[in-house]
Structure formats: C-alpha cells, structure tokens
C-alpha cells in the first residue's frame, strides 16, 4: 500500500514537473508570440491603410486643379476648409491624425491641410512641421508609400505616408497617424492569458513543492517505521519488505541471542538491560561489514544477514566472523554506569542459505542452530550442515 | 540642406528618445533649459512659467534654471496667454506655448509646444534680431 502511494506520488511529481517546465517555456515564449501577433496585426493595419490613403488622396486630387497645390490652397480658403473637412471625416479614435505636409522652397516641411478636430492639435496652413524621423525625406525622394512604427511618440503607433502626385509632380505628402489603441487592445487581450500562465506556474510550483514535501515525509516515516527505536537497528518490518529482493545465493544467515538476558534485567534492572541491548547491537554493527544487515529480530534476539562477497568461498570467513562476535562479546564486559556487566551470546549460523528454498527456511535453520547452541551450554556458535 | 535636416531630425530624435526613457516633463525641462541658456547668457536663468499646463512647476534649481513667480524677476516668460503678462514685463523674452498665440504676438521670441505627439519649436526672426540675440547654430533651422 505504502509502496503504491509512493509510486503514484512519484509519477504525479514527474508529470507536474513536465507540465511546470512546459508552462515556464510557454511563458518565456510569450513575449515573442506577442511580438509575432503584433507584427501580424501591423501588417493587416498597413494593408488597410493602403486602401484608405488611396481613397483620401483621390478625394484631394479631385478637388485640385492643374498646377501647384500649395498655390491653390494658399489663395482659396474655402477649398482648404472643404479639404480639411474631408480629412476630418477619416479622423477617429484609431486614426488619430490625418494631414497633408508640403516642402517649401527652403526644404522645410509645412502644413497644407489638417483634419484634426482638436484645435490645439490642428496645424495651421503653412505652419512649420518638424519631423521626428527621416521617412518624410524618403517619401518626398522616392515618391512611394512609406510607414514607420514608432515607439517614442506618445500614443502613436504607425505613421503612414502617401505621396500626392498631380501631373507627375510631387505636390505633398498625405500623412496618417494611427493611435496605439489597436496595439494596446491586442496587448490588453493577451494580458489575461499571461496572468493565467503566471498563476498556473505559481500553482504548479506550490503543488510540486507540497508533493515533494509529502514524499519526503513519507520516506522519512518509512525509514523511521523500519528502525528499532532502542538499538537503532532495522526491525522485522524491514526484513518483511526486503526478503523478496534478497538473493539466497549471495547470503548467509545467523541468529544471535544474548544468554541469560532475563537475569541481567532481573539483577541490574531494565535500564541496564537496555544498555546491554544497545551495546550488543553496536558491537554487531562493528564486527560485521557495511553490506551485511543486522536486524533486531525479537527481544534479545538479533538476525544477521551476511553478504557473501565471493559466493560459497566466503563461507569460512562468515563462520570466522560469527566466532569472533561470540568471542569478543564474552571477553569484553559491557560498562553500564558504575558496573561492568559480563554477557555472552549464542549464535546459530546457516552458511548454506543458497541451498534453501527461501530466506524463511534459512532463518528457521539458523534458529534451530541457536537452540542447539543454547542446549549445548550457550556462549558458542552452532553451524548448520549443508 | 541635408546637414540641416539631419541636425533637426537628430535634435528631435534625441529629445524624443529621451521622452520615454525619461518622462515628458523631463524632456520639456531639458528643452526649456536648452532654449533658456541659448537666449540668456547667465549661469542661472530665471523662468516665469505662466502656462502651468505646459509644465508642472518645479521647485528648486534644475539644469541651472530657476522657476520664479514674478515676471519682473524672470529672464524668460513662458505663457500661452499674452494678456497674463504685466505691461512692465512685455520687454522681457517671451516664449509662447501655442501656435495661435504665437502668430498674434509679434514680440514673442518664439514658440514651443507639442502637437500630434511631436515637439514644435519656432523662433521669431524679427524679434531675435530686434533683441540682438545670437542663437546657436543648432537652432537656425527653427527661425522663421
């Protein structure tokens, strides 16, 4: 059950991580997507503007007779007013300014017509006009449509210029300033998506963090539940979980029991008994190798699963280790406060685990050997026969 | 001619670039300071800013410009309404912030205003000559 929960959580965290990374990637790509969308909209807008400028220019040229456009407008106020009115018809929230600029003899730009409805924004006839980019020069020179997408002029997005040519002579330039309304609308419409991605990333981060923390707690809990609180050795739950993964060919099993442990408890009390248990556990860890597993099997009973490094050839070494444990414990009394407690251990060893059908069978045989050691006077090692 | 056009363009692009890295107010202050120091050869120039809409009145000294409340103390007056100016101050250097006011005020030194999101700067040739003002070369192209 525990294993399944862990597996599900691991899969979940993996999926969330993939989702998290892909969302972060989408979020980082958002700016380029916005630029791409904006460029597409700009192109659409430009195509639209091309048609509009042609219509306006057509309207203007219809009202201008042969000759200089400037001269005709200079001396005909009514015509100026009429054309200003025509231009003003095209002015709206999006198409902010529609005006006509000409170049005087000194090469300065001046207003000819202006459709601006706001007096403050309206350029008077012949008023100087100061351009902020060189597209005006280019338009007068090339006599072709030109546009600029601006970033530095407040609330203006596109400036589109169209040459007014009468009788093959460049008369003026019709200018259309498009406000940032459309551009802002696109940006505004994409903001919720950006916000959604932002919150999604935050949410996923929280979920991933929470899940990772849960896995950490679960793993810690799992570790704690498999460790004996007194001796800090593994307990039988650990054995239960690991037994199916242990290869019988590569292990040997020993059962260790403290002799007359009940007498230790009765004579010195349970605190000293606990010290003895902890000390024996510590010695078992010291006398075995890192790859061997020491388990507190019962009250004063321990199970050692030896790892056979060299297979069957290692059996003699294991027997020697078992004998050394027995000898070391009997020769070195345990210090418990002010008193020395002399204890001995009996060991039952089954070095032929590879011949058994299961680990349980090997443990049972080692247990039988332990009883044999007890029967034969304790403080000894009994080894099972192959 | 090309040089002039390019200097005009670069001058305004410079200020336009400033416009949104700084604020519009910052740009206006820079422009006012540049014009004021070109017209008045003093280390600190006093400016009476009558057109409060044109520029938020600044406290203290900015770019060697001091904004004063009295036209008599001012070296330059910036206004959009000539009627606001006292008769005793008419002889001062007057800059207007509206084209209509400019064409009806022959004694104005020049005009500075924003139209269609772009700055417009004009110097009145006759007044400049009458007041014996020598403009830096960068402003020649704005003289009318």
Residue A121 or B55, more confident:
A121
Inter-chain touch A116–B100, beta carbons under 8 Å: no
**Given pLDDT bands bounded at 50, 70 and 90, which one contains residue B19?**
very low
Considering only alpha carbons, which residue of chain B is nearest residue A155? B117
Q: Is residue A15 part of a domain?
A: no
**Given pLDDT bands bounded at 50, 70 and 90, which one contains residue B5?**
very low
Q: How many angstroms separate the CA of residue B52 from the nearest CA in chain A? A: 16
Q: Is residue A5 part of a domain?
A: no
pLDDT score at A22: 85
Q: Is residue A285 part of a domain?
A: yes
Q: Which positions ≥6 away from B140 have C-beta within 8 Å?
A: B4
Q: Closest Cα to residue B15, out of B133, B126, B142, B129? A: B142
Same domain (yes/no): A126, A255: no
Is ipTM > 0.85 here? no
**B133 at A interface, C-beta within 8 A:** no
Q: What is the DSSP string of A310-375?
A: TGGGGHHHHHHHHHHHHHHHHHSPEEETTEEE---EEEEEETTGGGSSSHHHHHHHHHHHHHHHHH
Active-site pick, A300, A309, A360, A361: A300
Q: Closest Cα to residue A352, out of A249, A257, A256? A: A249
Q: Is residue A52 part of a domain?
A: yes
pLDDT score at B20: 46
Of the residues A125, A153, A185, the one at which a domain ends? A185
Same domain (yes/no): A166, A245: no
pLDDT score at A12: 80
Considering only alpha carbons, which residue of chain A is nearest residue B14? A132
Count of structural domains within chain A: 2
| Number of Cβ atoms within 10 Å of the Cβ of B135 | 16
pLDDT score at A17: 85
Shortest CB distance from A153 goes to which of B9, B16, B141?
A: B16
Q: Is residue A12 part of a domain?
A: no
pLDDT, average across residues B42-54: 87
Beta strands in chain B (DSSP E): 45-49, 61-62, 65-68, 76-79, 93-96, 110-115, 118-123
Name the phi and psi angles at B43, rounded to 5. -70, -45
Considering only alpha carbons, which residue of chain B is nearest residue A107? B1
pLDDT score at A230: 94
Inter-chain touch A131–B12, beta carbons under 8 Å: yes
A81 catalytically annotated: no
Separation of alpha carbons A293 and A285, rounded Å: 8
Q: Is residue A128 part of a domain?
A: yes
Same domain (yes/no): A30, A175: yes
- Chain A residues with CB under 8 Å of B19 CB are 152-154
Of the residues A170, A185, A200, the one at which a domain ends? A185
Best residue of B5, B13, B23, B117 to probe chain A, by most A CBs closer than 10 Å? B117
Q: Map residue A102 onto helix, strand or coil.
A: strand
Decide the pairing of beta strands A345-350 and A381-383: parallel
pLDDT score at B13: 46
Q: Looking at the predicted structure, is the pLDDT value of residue B1 above 70?
A: no
Considering only alpha carbons, which residue of chain A is nearest residue B22? A152
Q: Which positions ≥6 away from B62 have C-beta within 8 Å?
A: B29, B33
**A131 at B interface, C-beta within 8 A:** yes
Separation of alpha carbons A366 and A352, rounded Å: 10
pLDDT score at A147: 93
Q: How many angstroms separate the CA of residue B12 from the nearest CA in chain A? A: 6
pLDDT score at B109: 94
Same domain (yes/no): A52, A145: yes
CA B7, B13, B19, B21 dihedral sign is: negative
Burial bucket for residue A160 (CB in 10 Å: 0-12, 13-18, 19+) = buried
Q: Closest Cα to residue B114, out of B28, B14, B22? A: B28
Q: How many angstroms separate the CA of residue A97 from the nearest CA in chain B? A: 7
pLDDT score at B6: 46
**A377 at B interface, C-beta within 8 A:** no
Of the residues A126, A154, A185, the one at which a domain ends? A185
Q: Do the Cβ atoms of A372 and A384 come closer than 8 Å?
A: no
Residue B10 or A303, more confident:
A303
**A107 at B interface, C-beta within 8 A:** yes
Separation of alpha carbons A36 and A367, rounded Å: 77
Residue A33: both structure tokens together: 């997507």
pLDDT score at B25: 79
Q: What angle, rounded to 10 degrees, do the helices at A181-225 and A2-28 form?
A: 160
Inter-chain touch A155–B115, beta carbons under 8 Å: no
Q: Is residue A46 part of a domain?
A: yes
End-to-end CA distance of chain B: 16
Same domain (yes/no): A357, A261: yes
Separation of alpha carbons A85 and B121, rounded Å: 27
Q: Map residue A270 onto helix, strand or coil.
A: helix
pLDDT score at A218: 86
Domain with residue A115: its CATH number is: 3.30.450.20
Domain with residue A341: its CATH number is: 3.30.70.270
**Given pLDDT bands bounded at 50, 70 and 90, which one contains residue B9?**
very low
**pLDDT values of chain A reduced to their tens digit, one per residue, 386 residues:** 556 777 777 788 888 888 888 888 888 888 788 788 878 888 888 999 999 999 999 999 999 887 889 999 999 999 999 999 999 999 998 889 999 999 998 889 999 999 998 888 899 999 999 888 889 999 999 999 999 987 656 678 889 999 999 888 899 999 999 887 777 777 788 888 888 888 888 888 888 888 889 888 988 888 888 999 999 999 999 999 888 888 888 999 999 999 999 999 999 999 999 999 999 999 999 999 999 999 999 999 999 999 987 777 788 999 999 999 999 999 999 998 889 999 999 999 999 999 999 999 999 999 999 999 999 999 999 999 87
pLDDT score at B18: 45
Q: Is residue A212 part of a domain?
A: no
Angle at A131 between CA A128 and CA A133, to 5 degrees: 170
Same domain (yes/no): A138, A287: no
Q: Which of residues 132-191 of A touch B (CB under 8 A)?
A: 132-134, 137, 151-156, 177
Inter-chain touch A132–B13, beta carbons under 8 Å: yes
Question: Among A5-9, A28-32, B63-67, B97-101, where is mean pLDDT lowest?
Answer: A5-9
pLDDT score at A154: 62
Q: How many angstroms separate the CA of residue A152 from the nearest CA in chain B? A: 6
Mean pLDDT (chain B) is 82
Residue A268's beta-bridge partner residues? none
- Chain A residues with CB under 8 Å of B16 CB are 132, 152-153
Same domain (yes/no): A242, A369: yes
Burial bucket for residue A294 (CB in 10 Å: 0-12, 13-18, 19+) = buried
CA B111, B112, B113, B115 dihedral sign is: positive
Residue A331 sits in which domain range? 236-383
- DSSP code for A124: P
Same domain (yes/no): A76, A170: yes
pLDDT score at A181: 75
| Number of Cβ atoms within 10 Å of the Cβ of B99 | 21
SS3 content of chain B, % helix, strand, coil (to 5): 40, 20, 35
pLDDT score at B58: 62
Considering only alpha carbons, which residue of chain B is nearest residue A175? B116
Inter-chain touch B99–A124, beta carbons under 8 Å: yes
**B4 at A interface, C-beta within 8 A:** yes
As a whole-number percent, the residues of chain B with pLDDT over 70 amount to: 81
Shortest CB distance from B16 goes to which of A99, A132, A177?
A: A132
- Chain A residues with CB under 8 Å of B143 CB are none
pLDDT score at B17: 45
Same domain (yes/no): A310, A372: yes
Angle at A234 between CA A368 and CA A328, to 5 degrees: 60
- C-alpha of A221 from chain center: 26
**Strands lying side by side in the sheet with A251-258:** A293-296, A301-307, A251-258, A345-350, A381-383
Same domain (yes/no): A264, A130: no
């Amino acid at each position: 059950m525990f294993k399944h929960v862990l597996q599900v959580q691991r899969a979940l965290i993996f999926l969330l991580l993939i989702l998290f990374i892909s969302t972060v990637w989408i979020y980082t790509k958002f700016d380029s997507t916005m630029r791409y969308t904006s460029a597409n909209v700009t192109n659409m807008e430009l195509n639209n503007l091309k048609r509009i400028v042609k219509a306006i220019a057509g309207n203007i040229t219809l009202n201008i007779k042969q000759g200089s456009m400037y001269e005709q407008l200079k001396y005909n106020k009514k015509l100026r007013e009429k054309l200003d009115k025509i231009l003003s018809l095209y002015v709206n929230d999006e198409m902010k300014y529609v005006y006509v600029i000409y170049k005087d003899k000194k090469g300065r730009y001046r207003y000819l017509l202006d459709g601006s409805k706001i007096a403050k924004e309206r350029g008077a006839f012949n008023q100087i006009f100061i351009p902020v980019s060189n597209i005006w020069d280019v338009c007068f020179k090339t006599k072709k449509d030109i546009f600029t997408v601006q970033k530095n002029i407040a609330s203006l997005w596109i400036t589109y210029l169209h040459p007014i040519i009468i009788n093959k002579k460049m008369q003026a330039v019709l200018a259309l300033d498009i406000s940032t309304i459309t551009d802002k609308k696109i940006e505004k419409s994409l903001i919720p998506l950006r916000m959604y991605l932002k919150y999604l990333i935050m949410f996923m981060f929280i979920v991933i963090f929470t899940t990772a923390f849960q896995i950490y707690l679960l793993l810690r809990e799992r570790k704690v539940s498999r460790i004996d609180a007194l001796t800090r050795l593994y307990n039988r739950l650990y054995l239960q979980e690991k037994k199916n993964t242990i290869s019988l060919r590569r292990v040997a099993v020993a059962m260790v029991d403290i002799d007359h442990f009940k007498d230790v408890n009765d004579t010195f009390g349970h605190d000293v008994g606990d010290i003895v248990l902890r000390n024996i556990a510590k010695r078992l860890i010291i006398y075995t190798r890192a790859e061997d597993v020491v388990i507190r099997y019962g009250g004063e009973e321990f199970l050692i699963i030896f790892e056979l490094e060299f297979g069957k050839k290692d059996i003699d070494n294991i027997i020697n280790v078992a004998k050394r444990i027995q000898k070391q414990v009997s020769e070195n009394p345990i210090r418990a406060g002010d008193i020395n407690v002399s204890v001995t251990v009996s060991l039952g060893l089954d070095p032929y685990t590879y011949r058994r059908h299961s680990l349980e069978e090997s443990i049972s045989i080692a247990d039988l050997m332990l009883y044999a050691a007890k029967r034969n006077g304790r403080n000894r090692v009994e080894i099972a026969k192959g | 001619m090309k040089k002039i056009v390019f200097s005009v363009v670069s001058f305004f692009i410079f200020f336009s670039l400033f416009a949104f890295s700084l604020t519009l107010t910052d740009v206006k202050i820079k422009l006012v300071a540049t014009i004021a120091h070109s017209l008045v050869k003093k280390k600190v120039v006093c400016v009476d800013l009558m057109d409060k809409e044109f520029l938020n009145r600044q406290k203290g000294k900015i770019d060697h410009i001091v904004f004063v409340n009295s036209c008599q103390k001012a070296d330059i007056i910036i206004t959009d309404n000539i009627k606001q100016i006292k008769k005793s101050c008419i002889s001062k250097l007057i800059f207007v912030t509206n084209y209509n006011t400019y064409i009806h005020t022959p004694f104005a030194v020049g005009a500075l205003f924003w139209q269609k999101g772009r700055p417009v700067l004009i110097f009145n040739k006759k007044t400049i000559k009458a007041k014996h003002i020598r403009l830096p070369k960068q402003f020649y192209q704005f003289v009318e």
